[in-house]
Amino acid sequence: MYLEHFKMKLLHPSSWQDYELIDSGEGEKLERFGKYTLIRPEPQAIWKKTKPPEEWSQLSHAHFTREQKDHFRFGDEVKGGWKKKQSMPDSWNVSYNYHHLSLTLRLALTGFGHVGVFPEQGDNWNFIFDTVSSWSKKDANRVLNLFAYTGAASVVAQSAGAEVTHCDASRPGLNWANQNMQLNHLDHIRWVYEDALKFVKREVKRGNKYNGIIMDPPPYGRGPDGEKWTLQEKLDELVYLSSQLLKDQNRFFILSMYAVGLSATVGQNVVSTHFKSGEIEFGEFFLKPKTGNNLPMGTFVRFRD
């Protein structure tokens, strides 16, 4: 495979109306999710804030802080939490619209500082929706979503007409994804409570095949039984096994990574080693404010045939 088959891209989600990056800097980001504006930690925002501190404080409805020595990497133990104004609810909904896709997602303030959605993934949702919608509805088009979190990509794939298997090792995450499915008046997503690597190994042994595979693995994680793993250790094996599950045509593959030290080229090298595709896109996602600095939000590798 030659280099001209690869396309390096810098992409930001442009279909959002209920999300906005307002500012970032000094280890934090100021974001609007629907009616509510939050301040959350962001280790890559090492520059100065554009807006003054008093404006951040005025605009925000809730502020999440982490008490840790290393402000540039997040560990799996969180000390700190949310400081909320009275007007801030524990959960609320936002909308995402793209062509014929009308998506409703439940958000909530979690103990880890997450809210249930990664806004940069909007561009991948568009990619999934366009790809699945283009397939013949006469066939049973199957999509596997690994490390599927709260299920936005699962809901998008099913909304476009796919049969979706949603795999995650977090029981609360599966419950949250089920709520998102119901909010969008869908049903019959297949829920799998399992470590993604273990599940993929079993699917290969069963001889199962999928038209689409989505994976957004964390830098490190734990399985349902507490087993630990890091992305650097498992990524190559995970992508290799996924290549055994993906069909030869009418297919797509998406790998997203948010791990400091793993560049888009790392992902591209791993994917192109195990998949032979005519055109592989890879690059970096970023969030774009109206004014101020763009905020990098991880890398992606994807293709469709």
Count Cβ atoms below 10 Å from residue 72 Cβ, excluding itself.
10
pLDDT (0 to 100) of residue 69: 56
Please give the Cα distance from 281 to 301 (Å, whole number): 6
pLDDT (0 to 100) of residue 72: 47
Can you give the pTM of this predicted structure?
A: 0.92
User: What is the three-state SS of the chain?
Assistant: CCHHHEEEEEECCCCCCCEEEEEEECCEEEEEECCEEEEEECCCCCCCCCCCHHHHHHHCCEEEEECCCCCCCCCCCCCEEEEECCCCCCEEEEEEEECCEEEEEEEECCCCCCCCCCHHHHHHHHHHHHHHHHCCCCCCCEEEEECCCCCHHHHHHHHCCCEEEEEECCHHHHHHHHHHHHHCCCCCCEEEECCHHHHHHHHHHHCCCECEEEECCCCEEECCCCCEEEHHHHHHHHHHHHHHHECCCCCEEEEEECCCCCCHHHHHHHHHHHCCCCCEEEEEEEECCCCCCCEEEEEEEEEEC
Positive or negative torsion for Cα 178, 183, 188, 189: negative
pLDDT (0 to 100) of residue 102: 97
Count Cβ atoms below 10 Å from residue 231 Cβ, excluding itself.
18
Positive or negative torsion for Cα 44, 94, 157, 154: positive
Do the beta carbons of residue 155 and residue 181 sit within 8 Å?
yes
Sketch out the chain's domains with CATH numbers.
3-16+91-304 (3.40.50.150)
pLDDT (0 to 100) of residue 70: 52
- Residue by residue, pLDDT tens for the chain (305 residues) are 344 456 689 999 999 999 999 999 999 999 999 999 999 999 999 999 999 999 999 999 999 998 755 554 545 555 679 999 999 999 999 999 999 999 999 999 999 899 999 999 999 999 999 999 999 887 889 999 999 999 999 999 999 999 999 999 999 999 999 999 999 999 999 999 999 999 999 999 999 999 999 999 988 776 667 777 788 899 999 999 999 999 998 999 999 998 667 899 999 999 999 998 768 999 999 999 999 999 999 999 999 99
User: What are the two backbone dihedrals, phi and then psi, of residue 216, each rounded to the nearest 5 degrees?
Assistant: -130, 70
Q: What is the gyration radius of the CA atoms in the chain, in angstroms?
A: 19
